[in-house]
């Protein structure tokens, strides 16, 4: 039975995150997630509603292409509003000749590029499959992951952004990048990141390893020069806690404002006191850039989500 790995890019603004969700209708309205209800998605139980999630939308498109039930498993459960250039998901199709004769399944002989085009033809404008490849039958998007990379983009200016406003978070004053880099250096390596996790993260251990964490002025696409009003944070690691990257972004911004320094961050890592870290920045500036696996040495190259 062939198994396929998809690299997926999406604008997360109008999605209720990656993972499929089917809450009771009353609960969806009470929590405000009712705005994300998609009446075109089927639910498993009466009285429940399907929220518009990336997993649900892409899984439906795959089912329409292969014309059989499939389960799409993703590597990262991005939150509502978070974007992606390199999300990874996988599904297994039927290789039964009898079913193929009726048009079901997707044998390897049909080709992965044809599969990508067929899926994309059934997807909305804010999500795109950028790559499809065949993988071993035991490939696990979560368990086989060895590293992930995220970016967070800050617009530091009193002037509002316009064209890319969905993909940045605005702060209203300039930020000094050197203190941000000093604090970033303290977070690289293996640490207990309890102070940088949201309450209720649900993990037994808060120890994580950050491989790299950089802070730089973003390059203007038109002039090729660094922008004084735009800061990009790039972070990679073996795994992250709930809201960890968004809290790190808020902490680095506090350093750029002069509200946090290296000593404070060392205390946060030592004590696990959430009050010593910065605020949780909004989802809009966060993007899942890439995921690497044991089978490959390089991160997948995905088309820009913006």
Class of domain 3-143: alpha beta
Number of Cβ within a 10 Å radius of residue 129: 24
| Active-site option among 11, 79, 131, 229 | 79
**Conformation bin of residue 243: beta by default, left when phi > 0, alpha when psi is -120 to 50:** left
Helix 262-271 and helix 177-187, axial crossing angle in degrees, nearest 10: 30
Q: Using alpha carbons, select from 266, 295, 281, 44 the residue that is nearest to residue 150.
A: 281
- Provide the residue ranges of all domains of the chain, joining segments of one domain with +: 3-143, 145-290
Task: Say what the pTM is.
Answer: 0.90
Does this chain's domain 3-143 share its CATH topology with 145-290? yes
Q: Using alpha carbons, select from 160, 194, 186, 179 the residue that is nearest to residue 284.
A: 160
CA atoms within 13 A on the CB side of 306: 19
Identify the CATH number of the domain defined by range 145-290: 3.30.70.660
Q: Using alpha carbons, select from 243, 245, 219 the residue that is nearest to residue 232.
A: 219
Task: Let me know if 273 is a catalytic residue.
Answer: no
306 residues of the chain, pLDDT tens digit each: 899 999 999 999 999 999 998 888 888 888 888 888 888 888 878 888 999 999 999 999 999 999 999 999 999 999 999 999 999 999 999 876 666 666 777 888 889 999 999 999 999 999 999 999 999 999 999 999 999 999 999 999 999 999 999 999 999 999 999 999 999 999 999 999 999 998 877 677 999 999 999 999 988 888 888 888 999 999 999 999 999 999 999 999 999 999 999 999 999 999 999 999 999 999 999 999 999 998 654 444 433 333
Token pair 């250096």 in the structure block, residue:
185
Q: Answer for the pair 233, 215: CB distance below 8 angstroms, yes or no.
A: yes
């Amino acid at each position: 039975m062939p198994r396929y790995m998809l690299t997926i890019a999406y604008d997360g603004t109008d999605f209720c995150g990656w993972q499929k969700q089917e809450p009771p209708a009353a609960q969806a309205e009470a929590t405000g997630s009712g705005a994300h209800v998609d009446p075109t998605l089927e639910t498993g139980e009466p009285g429940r509603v399907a929220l518009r999630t990336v997993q649900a939308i892409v899984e439906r498109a795959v089912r329409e292409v292969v014309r059989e039930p499939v389960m799409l498993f993703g590597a990262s459960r991005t939150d509502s509003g978070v974007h992606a250039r390199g999300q990874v998901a996988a599904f297994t199709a039927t290789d039964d000749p009898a079913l193929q004769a009726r048009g079901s399944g997707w044998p390897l002989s049909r080709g992965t590029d044809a599969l990508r085009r067929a899926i994309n033809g059934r997807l909305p404008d804010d999500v795109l499959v950028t790559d499809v490849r065949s993988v071993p039958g035991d490939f696990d998007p979560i368990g086989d992951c060895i590293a992930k990379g995220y970016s967070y983009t800050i617009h530091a200016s009193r002037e509002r952004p316009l064209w890319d406003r969905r993909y940045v978070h605005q702060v209203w004053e300039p930020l000094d990048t050197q203190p941000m880099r000093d604090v970033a250096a303290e977070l690289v390596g293996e640490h207990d990141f309890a102070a940088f996790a949201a309450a209720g993260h649900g993990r037994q251990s808060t120890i994580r390893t950050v491989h790299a964490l950089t802070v730089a002025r973003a390059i203007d696409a038109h002039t090729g020069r660094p922008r004084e009003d735009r800061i990009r944070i790039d972070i990679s690691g073996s795994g992250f806690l709930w809201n960890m990257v968004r809290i790190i972004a808020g902490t680095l911004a506090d350093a750029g404002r002069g509200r946090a320094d290296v000593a404070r961050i060392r205390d946060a890592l030592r004590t696990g006191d959430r009050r010593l870290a910065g605020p949780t920045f909004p989802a809009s500036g966060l993007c899942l850039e890439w995921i690497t696996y044991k089978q490959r040495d390089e991160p997948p190259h995905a088309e820009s989500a913006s």
